[in-house]
Amino acid sequence: MKFYSVFKRICDFFAALIGLIIISPLLIILIIILSISNNGKPFFYQERAGKKGRIFTIIKLKTMNDKKDSNGELLPVNYRITPVGNICRKYSLDEIPQLINILKGDMSVVGPRPLLKSYLPLYNEEQMKRHDVLPGITGWAQVNGRNTISWDKKFKLDVFYVENQSLLMDIKIILKTINRVISPKDINNSEETDMPVFTGNN
Q: What count of residues does the chain have?
A: 202
Residue 198 domain flag: no
Rg value, the chain, Cα: 17
Predicted confidence at residue 182, as pLDDT, reads 81
pLDDT tens, 39-57? 889 999 999 999 999 999 9
Predicted confidence at residue 94, as pLDDT, reads 94
pLDDT tens, 11-37? 999 999 999 999 999 999 999 999 998
Instruction: Yes or no: say if 118 and 140 are a contact pair by the CB < 8 Å rule.
Output: no
Predicted confidence at residue 194, as pLDDT, reads 60
Instruction: Yes or no: say if 8 and 39 are a contact pair by the CB < 8 Å rule.
Output: no
Residue 16 domain flag: yes
Residue 36 domain flag: yes
Residue 24 domain flag: yes
What's the domain count of the chain? 1
Q: Is the C-alpha dihedral spanning 185, 59, 35, 96 positive or negative?
A: negative
Percent pLDDT > 90 in the chain is: 66
Instruction: Yes or no: say if 188 and 138 are a contact pair by the CB < 8 Å rule.
Output: no
Higher local confidence (pLDDT), 68 or 16: 16
pLDDT tens, 107-143? 999 999 999 999 999 999 999 999 999 999 999 999 9
Residue 100 domain flag: yes
Residue 201 domain flag: no
pLDDT tens, 71-112? 888 888 778 888 888 899 888 899 999 999 999 999 999 999
- Please tell me whether residue 61 adopts helix, strand or coil conformation: strand
Residue 193 domain flag: no
Domain residues for the domain of 182 are: 2-186
Residue 44 domain flag: yes
